[in-house]
Amino acid sequence: MNRLKNLIISISVCIFFTGMATGQSFSDQYHVAVGLRAGESAGLSLKVNNQNSSGCEFLLGLWSNWISFTGLYEKNVQAFNINGMRWYYGAGGHIALETNTYYEQGRSYDRGSDFALGIDGIVGLEYKIPQIPFAVSLDLKPFLEMYRNGNLYFSADPGIGVKFTF
């Protein structure tokens, strides 16, 4: 429960500070987007941009018996002189939690659990579709994570996303 509380507080603080920032305003840009990201760390995405061409993105990754929470700070730069198209790049970190419960012949077995901590980078291209509240993205989110037993895992984690913007 404390982890969830800390996550909610962290997201709220990031939204507050990105909303307070001032600077260049992009009329073709959005403030908040909620959507899906497909890739190795597939899941739900919440992205909050400010008027200073930066923001935070939070990913809730879900797959088989793992769940991950990722937080990224991102910068946005106009791409190809096209309204609504932006390069974005940034860095952050994540925590991944595993539960190894499986079912066989109607019985539940538990092989233990695991967790991993990691550092993440991100670089991508996003297009906010004019006059409709959707954005699509293509990115590369490399990460390095360390498991409880000391093992390391690296992935380039390419992804594609679609977000509802407001």
Q: What is the sign, positive or negative, of the torsion defined by CA atoms of 125, 76, 163, 128?
A: negative
- CA distances in angstroms from 28 to 37, 47, 84, listed in the order given: 22, 15, 5
Q: Is there a contact between 113 and 66 (Cβ–Cβ < 8 Å)? A: no
What residues does each domain of the chain span?
A: 2-20+29-165
Residues 73-129: pLDDT tens digits? 999 999 999 988 999 999 999 999 987 766 667 776 666 678 899 999 999 999 999
Residues 20-78: pLDDT tens digits? 443 333 446 789 999 999 988 889 999 999 877 899 999 999 877 789 999 999 999 99
Report the alpha-carbon distance of residue 29 to residue 116 in Å, rounded.
Answer: 34
**Which two structure tokens, joined as six digits, stand for 108?**
């539940």
CATH architecture of 2-20+29-165: Beta Barrel (2.40)
Report the alpha-carbon distance of residue 138 to residue 17 in Å, rounded.
Answer: 26
List, in sequence order, every residue forming a beta bridge with 127; answer none if it has no partner.
85, 136
